[in-house]
Structure 1
Amino acid sequence: MEGKKQQQLFQRAWWLALISILYNILEGGISTYFGIDDETLALFGFGMDSFVEVISGLGIAHLYWRLRKHNIAQRDRFEVTALKVTGTAFYLLTVSLVLGASFQLWQQKHPVTTLSGIIIAILSILTMYFLYQHKLSVGRKLNSAPIIADAKCTLTCFRLSLVLLISSLLYEWLHLPYIDAAGSLVIAWFAYKEGKEAFQKARTGALSCGCKD
């Protein structure tokens, strides 16, 4: 591949990483606001997950910036630190959601509405699918394992959005008090898995994502 074309593709990958960061900041702010306002733990947890993804995204953007200049085989100190902070934040989120869901079930609390969760989840599904397709396309053109791995990790956010959509739709239709708590527990499970993967990547320093298709 010509050097100029390669640089353009790496530049595109870097911009995709920045879009991911900015979108997660926006999504996190809106989701946590409506999560508190509508008293839906699943939406609040989804928003907090987005904020943690911002930390992870900074490490990924830094990685892409280094890939533009030369081939690399290991993560540097900044990326490893970002992974450790990300993993810790995901574990804290997991504990918080489990405790919150337990309290919600015990007190028989339920959301005012989950309409905001439905709208946010649909927008997130569309955005994550867009990012997945474009990251995968760039990764394949460059034959870059780190970029392909990151694209596959975006599928986790896509699946998380599906969880929010399903739980929000079910509550809006059925109004059963435990549905929101159940959705937040599934989000907690995803957060635990992401935290575990972040620490694994920090420990090995490998560029692979460790996410499943």
Structure 2
Amino acid sequence: MEPTRKSDLKKARTLQILNVIYDAIEVIVALIAGIIANSSALIGWALDSTIEVLSATTLGWRLHGELKGIDKKQVNRRKKITLYVIAVSFTLVCIFISYDSVTKLLSQQTSSWSTMGLIILVTSLLINPILIHFKRKYGRKLDSPALLADAKDTFICLYQTIVVLAGLLLVNWFGWWWADPVAALLIVPYAAKEGWEAYTKARDISIDEK
């Protein structure tokens, strides 16, 4: 392995480790804030972020494997298993968000203000663009579709952050009780799309491929 590629692989792996650490914190804080505030959007955003943790962890695992010299068959096996896990996870997230949001719309349940939620959302708005930049950078350097796809997932997470933040502020500023569950429902199409893409990619991978 060329020294330059090895160096870039190490940097990309470190980036994924930092990504996992941040996303784990994001999930915990957002879940606590969402439960306290009875916010479908915050809870849905937190659950969707758990997929980011899975994705980043797996990609880090695969990068580590390349550094250790595992063969193509092992890489494909890891990728296939992980993509199926991600697909199932996205499906469960879609079901939960849809049920929770529709229930709250029908019962007209109102979420309360969450300072903790605001802080983690704004932090995410600052952190995610940095992660996107470096994932794209090393994705191009390593000619890695997986890293570039992960950058796309992080960009989608950034969009969802803006939507959830908007819902939180609309509830607080204008008293629009429906803004929170509607913001949560806007996450569903993207989660469903990513889940289906993960499933189709997993199905197309041949473990016996050399």
Q: How does 1:82-101 map to 2 (within 5 A)?
A: 82-101=82-101
Deviation at 1:139, TM superposition (A): 2.1
In the alignment, what sits opposite 1:33? 32
Corresponding position: 1:134 with 2:134 = yes
Q: How does 1:178-193 map to 2 (within 5 A)?
A: 178-193=178-193
Cα deviation digits, residues 97-153 of structure 1 (max 9, x gap): 111111101111011114433322211121111111011112223333332332233
Determine the C-alpha separation between the residues in 1 that align with 2:152 and 2:81: 22
Deviation at 1:162, TM superposition (A): 1.5
Determine the C-alpha separation between the residues in 2 that align with 1:178 and 1:159: 19
Amino acid at match of 1:56: S
Could you tell me the percent identity over the aligned residues? 28
Amino acid at match of 1:23: Y
Which runs of 5 or more structure 1 residues have no equivalent in the other structure?
Answer: 207-213
In the alignment, what sits opposite 1:210? none
Is the 8 Å Cα contact of residues 114 and 169 (structure 1) preserved in structure 2?
no
Q: Structure 1's 48 and 166: CA in aligned 2 closer, same or farther, altered over 3 A?
A: same
Amino acid at match of 1:19: L
Q: How does 1:56-205 map to 2 (within 5 A)?
A: 56-68=55-67, 69=69, 72=72, 75-205=75-205
In the alignment, what sits opposite 1:209? none
Deviation at 1:67, TM superposition (A): 3.4
Determine the C-alpha separation between the residues in 2 that align with 1:72 and 1:140: 20
Report 1 or 2 for greater relative contact order, CA contacts < 8 Å, sequence distance ≥ 6.
Answer: 2
Q: Structure 1's 149 and 55: CA in aligned 2 closer, same or farther, altered over 3 A?
A: closer
The count of residues paired between Structure 1 and Structure 2 equals 205
Cα deviation digits, residues 155-181 of structure 1 (max 9, x gap): 111112121122122222111111001
Determine the C-alpha separation between the residues in 1 that align with 2:35 and 2:5: 45
- The range that moved more, 184-193 or 95-104, is 184-193
In the alignment, what sits opposite 2:47? 48
Is the 8 Å Cα contact of residues 59 and 82 (structure 1) preserved in structure 2?
yes
SS of corresponding position for 1:21: helix
Cα deviation digits, residues 76-95 of structure 1 (max 9, x gap): 22221121111111111111
Is the 8 Å Cα contact of residues 83 and 202 (structure 2) preserved in structure 1?
yes
Cα deviation digits, residues 23-81 of structure 1 (max 9, x gap): 11111111011100011110011111112322222221122223334795995222211
Determine the C-alpha separation between the residues in 1 that align with 2:190 and 2:143: 29
- Aligned CA RMSD, in angstroms, stands at 2.2
Determine the C-alpha separation between the residues in 2 that align with 1:105 and 1:9: 48
Determine the C-alpha separation between the residues in 1 that align with 2:7 and 2:66: 12
In the alignment, what sits opposite 1:20? 19
- The range that moved more, 165-174 or 32-41, is 165-174
Is the 8 Å Cα contact of residues 115 and 168 (structure 1) preserved in structure 2?
no
